[in-house]
Amino acid sequence: MSEQPALPPSGAYLPSIRDSSRAVRQAANISITPAAIERLLFSPAFVDSYKRVSAYHGLALPLKFSSVLDELNLISVLSLLNFASGYRVPLHVQTGRGAWDSIRALVFSMYITSSIEDDLLSAVGMKSIQDAKIAELMNVQLHVERPHETISGVVVGELGGPLYDMVKLVTGVLNETGAILSNSGYPNLGAFVAEALNEGAKAGTGKGSDFLMEFVVERLVRAFPAFRDMGLVDGKPIYCFKKALFLLHAISVRFGTTTSHPLFPIPSTKSSPVFTDNVLPSLLIHLGVIDLSSSKLFSLFPAAGSEERLKELLGPSPSTDKDAKKTMPKEGPVLTSQQSYILRAAAIDACELIVETARSAARPESSRARELGWIRDITLPDLDMWIWSVAKDRPDYRALERFVRLDTVFF
């Protein structure tokens, strides 16, 4: 794991995400202009798809739960394991699924195959699960073939390859988190989250709608290394906390925000920073919002940003044959830890600026703005979901390269 900065001051985790992201983005000479943002906001690509596509959150759970706390626990583990984006291509090769769908299938399988005596989603089950079980539940092969060193024409199999590395990361996160929960007396991760929600609600009386989210994110990050998504870029801290933010939003999506559930309060996530991964920055680069032309990272996406290409990508979605076979995704540039944090920081700041621009760009004075007045009300989480989902919704977007960061448990 790369070197990490000190944790943010208590009570300032959300501002630290925004402030550190802007500082890192600006220090890297990455440009985000109002003109580029408005070009996206009023493009057919955005206007024609936003309301439909931003509703795709990937959190449909076709499972029957024995209790609400059971569902909360599954959502918590799903969020904990919401990474492996760097293994998207090898996962598609072996399973036909991308990273998110593979992790979802794993957690669903852990739930379905669990029993009272052997609950894989409990603290004890997570603490003791092994690589072979993870590989079995994900339906992936961990062996690679190589020529025998001395016998010509003979091929031998051995543990290795990218999916072996991925499975070890998944197992490591489960084992580590399960051990922390067990040592602290929690039966599962959902119990920890429910307690944090209730304690945050008590502590946050009269302190504003963001307090509960701030409180729980801090509790998660302080307790579990797998939620400690932060790094150093040229000695300066960057805080993302993608999975902790995603977990709070998943709770909001699954249990609603209008009323508090009897067992735990529901956080408001309307102003949550985005859940930055490799999809958001990559797509915002291709759509011309994040401009790398003056940055040392320009060579990572040399073809992005041309006027001809932007005209295609910001235009209406091309008509396609729904029965056409999907092509294998293309591997994007492989990034270092610092490079990935810079681009992820740029995506956080870009989305903040997109929402700020939307508030002013859609004023009711102009007739066009009145027609598109709904743009004033877009939220950061919905914008996140639009970017993440539209990357799959359009075939030309699916073909766009996304950067790759291996050996991380944060996205």
* Sole residue written with tokens 């009570």: 11
Amino acid at 176: E
Q: What is the pLDDT of residue 267?
A: 92
d(CA 299, CA 84): 24
DSSP class per residue in 172-207: HHHHHHHHHHHHHT-SSHHHHHHHHHHHHHHHTTTS
The count of other CB atoms within 10 Å of the CB of residue 146 is 10
Residue 3 lies in a domain: no
Helix (H) or strand (E) holding 127: helix 123-128
pLDDT in tens, 311-367: 999 999 887 655 556 677 888 999 999 999 999 999 999 999 999 999 986 444 545
pLDDT in tens, 164-221: 999 999 999 999 999 999 999 999 999 999 999 999 999 988 888 899 999 999 999 9
CB 251 within 8 A of CB 79: no
Token output for 194: 């429910």
- Residue 94 CA to residue 299 CA, distance in Å, equals 30
Cα→Cα distances 410→21, 55, 229, 291, 349, Å? 16, 24, 6, 24, 18
**Which residues span the domain enclosing 399?**
13-404
CA distance between the termini of the chain: 13
Q: Phi and psi dihedrals of 248, rounded to 5?
A: -65, -40
Question: What is the rounded CA–CA span in Å between residue 132 and residue 141?
Answer: 10
Q: Which two tokens stand for residue 225?
A: 């290394």
Q: Is residue 6 part of a domain?
A: no
Residue 132 lies in a domain: yes
Residue 137 structure tokens: 């539940």
Cβ atoms of 54 and 385 within 8 Å: the answer is yes
Three-class DSSP category at 98: coil
Is residue 190 included in any domain, yes or no?
yes
Is the CB of residue 270 less than 8 Å from the CB of residue 381?
yes
Distances in whole angstroms, Cα of residue 188 to Cα of each of 17, 76, 104: 28, 9, 18
**What does DSSP assign to residue 76?**
H
Greatest CA separation found in the chain?
79
Within a domain: 60? yes
Q: How far apart are CA 370 and CA 219, in angstroms?
A: 43
Is the Cβ–Cβ distance between 286 and 400 less than 8 Å? yes
pLDDT at residue number 322: 53
Beta carbons of 296 and 28 less than 8 angstroms apart: yes
Please state the domain count of the chain. Answer: 1
Counting as low any pLDDT under 50, the low residues of the chain are 258-259, 362-364, 366
Q: CB atoms < 10 A from the CB of 254, how many?
A: 18
Residue 9 to residues 6, 23, 149, 202, Cα–Cα distance (Å): 9, 17, 55, 20
pLDDT on residue 261: 63
Q: Do residues 55 and 218 lie in contact, with contact meaning Cβ atoms separated by under 8 Å?
A: no
Dihedral of alpha carbons 35, 38, 39, 40, sign: positive
